[in-house]
Amino acid sequence: MTRIAVGKIVNVHGIKGVMKFQPALTSAQILSRLNPLSDKENKKHFEMTLVGKKGAFWLVSAKGITDRTTAERFKGMELFADREKFPETAEGEFYCCDLMGLEVLVDSKAFGRVVNVPNYGAGVILEIKTNSGKTLDLPFSKTIFPKVDIANHQIELVLPDELKGMDT
């Protein structure tokens, strides 16, 4: 079963066990649909409820966590949800986990593989390990990646001009 990182508990808020959550989700409405969330090892499970927002952070409560001291134990914990609980994507939309491991093609020839899909705040990046062993970080855009074929585990790359002719 594939699990997706949905955010991280970064701090506590107040004395009643409310936690400050840095979401990797775009919509707070999906949170209840994804319950229970779990830790990386899938050993601790949390029924999360959104109780408010503070800037870019969500304030969440978890069933059974009712005081600050208990909540502080989970500071820094990344939380995950089962992939199957996420809604289907629209045409041309993808979950980052679906892009991981795709074979990268350039002019229909094997070029490398997607090894990471980070988002540092300015948009999704595809980290590609080329067949020659080098790593390329490219923005995930329709111009650079015009065709994504999840069913066949492939993605087409149009190399940006500044990379053409380089030893990649």
pLDDT tens, 137-154? 999 999 999 999 999 999
Q: Which residues pair with 12 in a beta bridge?
A: 19
pLDDT of 168 over the 70 cut:
no
Residue (of 71, 69, 95, 73) closest to 82 by Cα position: 95
pLDDT band at 66; cut points 50, 70, 90: very high
Q: How far apart are CA 149 and CA 46, in angstroms?
A: 34
Token pair in block for residue 128: 């590609």
pLDDT tens, 72-81? 999 999 999 9
Q: Which residues pair with 135 in a beta bridge?
A: 129
pLDDT band at 122; cut points 50, 70, 90: confident
Q: What is the pLDDT of residue 104?
A: 97
Block residue for tokens 């500071």: 75
Q: Is 60 exposed, middle or buried (0-12, 13-18, 19+ CB in 10 A)?
A: buried
Q: What is the pLDDT of residue 24?
A: 83
**Averaged pLDDT score across all residues of the chain:** 91
Q: How many residues belong to the chain?
A: 168
Q: Which residues lie below 8 Å from residue 64, measured CB to CB, with a gap of 6+?
A: none
Segment 34-39 mean pLDDT: 95
pLDDT of 69 over the 90 cut:
yes
3-state DSSP percent of the chain in helix, strand and coil, to 5: 15, 40, 45
Question: Which of 29 and 154 is assigned the larger pLDDT?
Answer: 154
Which residue segments constitute the domains of the chain, with CATH numbers given? 3-85 (2.40.30.60), 96-163 (2.30.30.240)
pLDDT of 167 over the 70 cut:
no
Q: How far apart are CA 105 and CA 1, in angstroms?
A: 27
Omega into 160 within 30° of 0, i.e. cis? Answer: no
Among 1-5, 53-57, 69-73, the least confident range: 1-5
- pTM for the predicted model, two decimal places: 0.69
Token pair in block for residue 10: 């970064």
